[in-house]
Amino acid sequence: MSASADTIYALSSGALPAGVAVLRISGSRAFDALKALTGRDLPPPRKTSLCSIRNRNNDIIDQGLVIVFPGPNSFTGENCVEIHSHGSRAVVASIFTELENLEGLRPAEAGEFSRRAFENGKMDLLEVEGLADLLQAETEMQRRLAVEQSTGQLSALYDGWASRLTRARALIEAELDFADEEDVPDSVAAQVWHAMVELKGEISRHLETGGSGEIIRDGFKVALVGEPNAGKSTLLNALSGRDVAIVTDIAGTTRDVLSVDINLDGYLVRIFDTAGIRETQDVVEQEGVRRAVLTAETADLILLLQDKDSIPKQSTTFENRSYLHVRTKTALSSPDSNNGFDLFISAKEGIGLHQLRSVIKREIEKRVGAGQTLVPARARHKKRLEETLNYVSDALDSETLDLVIRSEYLRLAATSLGRITGRVDVEDLLGVIFSEFCIGK
């Protein structure tokens, strides 16, 4: 029996013990498995029924709710069963023992239920990725972005573009193949290029929003940079609300990059505490300084911390990056030492932290845009969209070439779009994508 023909089962709810455990079975023998567990006929489809779940000796394991979903009207497109039992380890282990002894059943692999849904046409690849992101969402904005993907809204946009490319190619083929027919005007293909100019503009604008999708999904990266004892670790602890970093008065305490994730009004923010930047002969500290500079160069925003009156030596290092000059230890500063700073904080006393969070949020919204929807969320999406845009541009810029060549560019553009949703040639991606799922989904 092939892997796809096996009937699979798994725990689809959270870690045990729990109040309720949801066990899922999918495949051609799912209904037979339920009959073996309950010793009774199947309940009506998609209606909960209270049943006793029994072992081979007809002893009761538990009482639970069962639901059957006949294919193809199920999540996977196959016959599916859900068993809602009490969530003790002993109950679930006993049910799994019974399922293991049934012919043709095996435990599901990570993401296998979702993979079957994809293979059976219940979801496209964008929806699958959106579901994975939804399961891992930690903030409100991540949830919204994932819902747009998992419910097919982004797929509908890309499918619409693919349909316009297909129609454009059809008009070109009509001119090529039926140029001698009276009902096919000689200039019918000329109607295509105005539509392709509009499509190019739409894809370009969509790609420009790609950075906002990555910020929402992967987090807005903030690097805390400054000389030793500037208050970076103290600020990291204050923003996270816990003691993440060791804080001492000894210069060079932080040797490596530490990070913590915080939820800032629905946005994921990743804050990086770095080693103090200074000239040193210590080999370990030199590596810490190198990593600090590298972290700052890849951050979305740099907070350049300073607790002295003089301008820090490293300020010019990041002159081409987005950064804010922050005066730390404000409670200890003199009134005339606050010139040239964007913010004034004292992490120990909690002074200025609310203003700092507000500034970070404004920076995020500046990058993301207000009310931004339907954005490419992954680097894979952006790469294929860039390919699509390049092929459309090539078709538009090839006015001196044969119509057959220009039509081929449009075919390649549609193929690139199809690879985003999984319509064509994505077998090499499937293992990577479905490995992101937990077992039971």
Eight-class DSSP state of 243: -
Worst-scoring range by mean pLDDT, 29-43, 58-72, 202-216, 317-331? 317-331
Looking at domain 216-368, which CATH architecture does it have? 3-Layer(aba) Sandwich (3.40)
What type of residue sits at position 130? G
Among 44-53, 99-108, 334-343, 378-387, where is mean pLDDT lowest? Answer: 334-343
pLDDT of residue 50: 96
> Superfamily assignment of 127-209+376-434 in CATH?
tRNA modification GTPase MnmE domain 2 (1.20.120.430)
- Whether the predicted pLDDT of 434 surpasses 60: yes
Residue 68 and residue 46 in contact, taking contact as beta carbons nearer than 8 Å: yes
As a whole number of angstroms, the distance between CA 221 and CA 227 comes to: 20
* 215 phi/psi in degrees, rounded to 5: -65, -45
Mean pLDDT (whole number) for 119-131: 92
How sure is the predictor about 423, in pLDDT bands with cuts at 50, 70 and 90?
A: confident
Considering the domain delimited by 3-108, tell me its CATH architecture: 2-Layer Sandwich (3.30)
Find out whether 404 and 105 touch, Cβ atoms under 8 Å.
no
pLDDT (tens digit per residue) in 247-299: 655 555 555 678 889 999 999 999 998 887 777 777 777 777 788 888 888 88
CA distance 277 to 292: 7
The kind and range of the H/E element at 259 are strand 258-264
Give the pLDDT confidence of 87-110 residue by residue, as tens digits.
999 999 999 999 999 999 999 999
d(Cα 133, Cα 127) in Å, to the nearest integer? 10
Which helix (H) or strand (E) is 324 found in, with range?
strand 323-327
Cα 120 to Cα 40: distance, rounded to the nearest angstrom: 29
Separation of first and last alpha carbons in the chain: 22
Domain boundaries, the chain: 3-108, 127-209+376-434, 216-368
The predicted pLDDT at position 276 comes to 77
220-226 and 49-54 beta bridge pairing: unpaired
Q: How far is CA 74 from the centre of its chain?
A: 25
Cβ burial 160-181 (10 Å sphere, 16+ → b, else e): ebbebbeebbebbebbeeeeee
Give the span between the Cα atoms of 224 and 209, in whole angstroms.
Answer: 26
Asked if residues 87 and 42 have their Cβ atoms less than 8 Å apart, the reply is no
Helix 153-177 and helix 140-150: axis angle, to 10°? 40
* pTM exceeds 0.85: no
pLDDT in tens, 163-183: 899 888 888 877 776 555 555
Residue 80: Cβ within 10 Å count: 22
